[in-house]
Amino acid sequence: MLHLAKDGIFPITKDKDGKLLKELPASGLHVAGTIQGEGKLNGVPSLFIRLAGCNLHCTWKTLAGNTCECDTAYAAFKVENSFSLPVEEIVRIIGHNRGNIDHIVITGGEPFLQADKVRALCLQLKKESHFHITVETNATLYVEECAEMIDFFSLSPKLSGSVPPAPHMDHHNKTRINIPAIQSFITYARKNKKDFQLKFVYSGENEIIEIQALLKQLDGWGNEDILLMPMGATPEELSLSIPKTLEHCLRNGWRFCDRLHISLFGNKQGV
């Protein structure tokens, strides 16, 4: 059984038996699927599987001075309405909603907290019909038996701007960066002809120095693998951080990471 967040598998239009759901998905479309809104695969039609539970508790301060929790706090540490499904049932739901979609994104929460079950899921998805599988992870945990089933690693190390107030501050600070785990993902990708990205959220000038210091501790990456993403869950919040994010991308040769799903759907879950 995999423990899923309340939106679970999304956006879908059919249930495990292939019957049409009574309501449209959050996208508002009469077809299953959405697009990957961030990173190297920006714009690619995808189905998402969102798992519940995370080992971090990220909270940011926006440039406007507001507090901004993880944009999927309901999956990470506010897991009301989470539920569990057998791997076989998840695979059936995906099959009924696939259409012409070839990309699956496993996200969270933190998927590697359920590494054994994620591996079993990926194995079945590859067996039933070849999918390109992305995992979105904070890169604090590395399990090679699971990594071998993944095609693309979206690694999002959390910088000091993500640190929450007490009582979560100390644990978050001690565990938010795991250099050996990050390096393991990169090394495995390079050795096995897989791809990865290091995706950072820009929330202040000090974090650019942090990113540069972190990258000096890692091998096997190029500037094309480093993505800087403006912080914000709404178009208004993003507009405040986009100019500086863009400037630092140009200065360092990094990729600018858009948040296309916010442009398309706003601050909405399940899209």
The residues with which 199 forms a beta bridge, in sequence order, are 227
Q: From the annotation, which residues make up the binding site for Mg(2+)?
A: 72
Q: Which residues are annotated as a binding site for S-adenosyl-L-methionine?
A: 109, 156-158
Q: Which helix (H) or strand (E) segment is 76 a member of?
A: helix 73-76
Alpha-carbon dihedral angle through residues 116, 122, 128, 132, given to the nearest 10 degrees:
-170
Beta bridge partners of 46: 34, 103
Bind-site residues for substrate: 35-37, 50, 107
Strand partners for 14: 20
Strands 255-256, 226-230: pairing kind:
parallel
Question: Binding site for [4Fe-4S] cluster: residue ranges?
Answer: 54, 58, 70
Q: CB neighbours of 243 closer than 8 A, spacing ≥ 6?
A: none
Q: Give the annotated binding-site residues.
A: 35-37, 50, 54, 58, 70, 72, 107, 109, 156-158
* Torsion angle of C-alpha atoms 226, 230, 231, 236, degrees rounded to 10: -160
| Backbone dihedral angles phi then psi of residue 269, each to the nearest 5 degrees | -85, 155
Taking the CA atoms of residue 240, residue 40, residue 164 and residue 264 in that order, the dihedral angle to the nearest 10 degrees is 50
- Cβ-proximal residues to 170 (8 Å cutoff; 6+ apart), any chain: none
Task: Give the Cα separation of 194 and 189 in Å (integer).
Answer: 4
Q: Where are the beta strands (DSSP E) in the chain?
A: 2-10, 34-35, 45-51, 59-61, 67-69, 83-85, 103-107, 132-137, 152-155, 195-202, 226-230, 255-256
